[in-house]
Amino acid sequence: MIYYIFYEWIYKSLSQQSPESVFVKALNVFQYVSFRTAYATVTALLISLLFGGRVIRALKTWNVGQQIRAEGPQAHMAKRGTPTMGGVLIIGSVLISTLLWARLSNLYIWIIIIATALFAVIGFLDDYAKVAKKQSLGLTGKQKLLAQLLIAAGVWATLYFFADYSWNLSIPFFKDTDITGITKIGPWIYLPFIILVLIGSSNAVNLTDGLDGLAISVTFIAMVALTAFTYLSGDERWARLLLIDHRKEVGELTVFCGAMAGASLGFLWYNAPPADVFMGDVGSLAIGGAIGTIGVLTKQEVILLLVGGVFVLEALSVMLQVSFFKMTRRSTGTGRRLFKMTPLHHHFEMQGWKESKVVFRFLILAILFALLSLSTLKLR
């Protein structure tokens, strides 16, 4: 919206009348993605900071409190009743900021906006069910998976019918894999791949959201890395230099990534230990869905394993725990566990680590994963 007002309308009108005017030349800056990304970040940060207190008070008024699993760490029982569904603040800040600063004629912008909003709806319904039932279980796993699958299929269908999308995989550490067509797998094989990426990403962030400040701080690091990947993919000069797939329309997604990073910082202000509010599934499912969708649109699906390395470890710990328990139960009659408790952050809590220590050490891991992912741009 701001882009259209200050560039498409005011700048283009005045540039014909007074092309040498300093004011007119200054308005030219609104065409640059880097400028709009910076201000989208600041806008989302300010919205989340300014309205965070009001959202928390409203959630308390509506008695939207967190339900704690009885089998979880006993220290978490003190968090019972803390306002949840704070993810509406994150997603609201991101969407408002993106609508203000992005070029809305870009198809990819609408794909990421709608996909994120739909994942948020799933999370909202799940959170609402938990609050209504006064227990830690909301929608069933099958219900959530089906809804996530439909969204992922919708993203694929939009790319198939309406976008000039490259059905090639970009493989880290190898040159030209997404340019020469050597890894072209076609749209129909890409369909289950997109479903796997979006569902996996969404649920991985959801599993990570278990400690004060953990999921949102890791999200901030991941979004900073994705902002860099998105900007470089959308800039022809950098894309050619780094031998990555260039799509001009992808560059506009940088605005969304910046907004998500800003909103994450703003929410962390209220979610830092001890948390005043939890993001709930409305936040975690939407953030994970957004990260997966960004990866698909920018052709960085595989690199998401590094960008969101902490999310991957959390999800992997759950899968290993369940698989090992079932395998040992079939063979010995008594199920055994690899970890004291999953997701992985709970295992370290059970080992005696304080919650803040787990959060900061996982944050350090997230930074290392992000730096490693960025290094793949030159290590090809």
**10 assigned to some structural domain:** no
**255 assigned to some structural domain:** yes
**64 assigned to some structural domain:** yes
**23 assigned to some structural domain:** no
| CB neighbour class for 171 (10 Å; exposed up to 12, middle 13-18, buried from 19) | middle
Are 198 and 152 a contacting pair, CB within 8 Å?
Answer: yes
**120 assigned to some structural domain:** yes
Number of residues that this document lists for the chain: 380
Domain of 241?
40-375
Task: Write down the pTM of the prediction.
Answer: 0.94
**Model confidence band, residue 65 (pLDDT cutoffs 50, 70, 90):** low
**1 assigned to some structural domain:** no
Are 55 and 272 a contacting pair, CB within 8 Å?
Answer: no
**Model confidence band, residue 129 (pLDDT cutoffs 50, 70, 90):** confident
**Max CA separation in the chain (angstroms):** 84
Q: What is the pLDDT of residue 377?
A: 87
**96 assigned to some structural domain:** yes
pLDDT tens readout for residues 17-41: 787 787 888 888 999 999 999 999 9
Nearest to 300 by CA among 369, 225, 192: 225
Q: What is the pLDDT of residue 76?
A: 59
**Model confidence band, residue 176 (pLDDT cutoffs 50, 70, 90):** low
Are 262 and 43 a contacting pair, CB within 8 Å?
Answer: yes
Count of domains for the chain: 1
**How large a percentage of the chain has pLDDT more than 70?**
92
Q: What is the pLDDT of residue 344?
A: 96
Bridge partner list, 83: 65
**Model confidence band, residue 74 (pLDDT cutoffs 50, 70, 90):** low
Q: What value does the mean pLDDT take over residues 311-340?
A: 92
168: three-class secondary structure by DSSP:
strand
**380 assigned to some structural domain:** no
**How large a percentage of the chain has pLDDT more than 90?**
69
pLDDT tens readout for residues 86-98: 999 999 999 999 9
